[in-house]
Amino acid sequence: MQNKLDFLRKYKRNVRIIPFDQINKLDPEWMPSAWYDLFIKTDVTTRIEAILSMWREHMGAELSNTISYLSEHLKEIELMEIDGRYSILYTIKTGSKEIYYEGRSPKDAFNHKVLEESWDKIPPSIRKFYENVHNGFYYYAGESMGLVPLEDVTFFDNDEWGIIEELEEPLQIDLKTTFGFFKSGMGGYVAVDYSNFDNDLATLWWTNKQPRYKINFWDVVDEWIVIGFEV
């Protein structure tokens, strides 16, 4: 446990793993009630199956490859607290090493005014993930290769995109209605233009490559999350 904490604290100094016997003492305002039932289970296998059941219930179709990978490689989940906010820490065994992913609480404060004002226009499947599973799920050390927390969702109209000057065809998204929910950490985003969204089609946007339009949002997100597990 101490080695794990030492690693986690390289990135967030105030992180702590909450012991099981303290779960019922926590403020329920920022943590789903289902998490209490989850973390009072003392058996690791039971906890893992419970969290995967939640993923399957809400995102079984959209994130089938991610769920399948977790079913085989997830070794532990723990309740984590960082500066007053709660997350689930996923310990994933991949090859000979363990990696850590963070899934934040869907009861987190929004902390993104522009996105909050447009939230009812965001595709239902994306809202379903953030409202029922996690407020972001990503590689802990890099805060990338996953769906980012709402406060870190990229509002495209706020950024200067040098690639726009190098586009080989006309821009096919409206920056004022486009948000990037997935971040690769290497200049790649999976973005949704809610004013031009149909059949879960999204844009694979790069800071240094030509964009790909009309991709399936969940197909790419599902594939990239698994790639992140295996890197």
pLDDT along the chain (231 residues), means of 10: 86 91 81 87 92 97 98 96 93 92 95 96 96 97 95 94 92 95 93 84 94 95 96 78
Taking the chain, what is the end-to-end CA distance rounded to the nearest angstrom?
24
Residue pair 20/35 in contact (Cβ under 8 Å)? The answer is: no
Residue pair 100/91 in contact (Cβ under 8 Å)? The answer is: yes
What pLDDT shows up at residue 37? 86
Query: To which H or E segment does residue 78 belong?
Result: strand 74-82
What pLDDT shows up at residue 1? 66
146 bridge partner residues: 183
Question: Which of these, 212, 181, 214, lies nearest to 197 by C-alpha position?
Answer: 214
Residue pair 63/226 in contact (Cβ under 8 Å)? The answer is: no
